[in-house]
Amino acid sequence: MQGRDPVRVIREALAKTLAGRIREGPGRKLVVECTGESIMFIEADAEVTLEQFGDAPQRPPFPCWEELLFEVPDSGGILNCPLLHIQVHIWLKNSYNI
């Protein structure tokens, strides 16, 4: 991994897998339709360090999580959604969280 962008490595690895969408099949069964559509992958930069959050918990339930997470449009249900949503935060000082 040395010298490689971890975000790019994750994105490229996941783009080759999970390339489909959940659909409703016969008998209302859920099926994965291999559409070639990749997962939902979001890269977010933060102009802060994790230390700047102070004593706020850095594990769920995190009080500010909803402000940091991307909300997928039309994601109210499960049909036609990506099989997986990944969001990588890049904090100052090159720390990451997924």
Q: pLDDT tens-digit profile of 71-91?
A: 666 666 777 777 777 777 666
Of 21, 71, 17, 16, the closest CA to residue 42 belongs to 71
Indicate the CATH number of 6-97 among 3.80.30.20, 3.40.50.620, 3.30.559.10, 3.40.47.10.
Answer: 3.30.559.10
pTM of the complete model beyond 0.85: no
Residue 54 gets the label, from left (phi > 0), alpha (psi -120 to 50) or beta, of left
CA distance 7 to 55: 27
Which segments of the chain have a pLDDT < 50? none
- Beginning with the edge strand found earlier in the chain, give each strand of the sheet holding 95-97 in spatial order: 40-45, 85-91, 95-97
Nearest to 6, CA basis, from 75, 71, 67, 97: 97
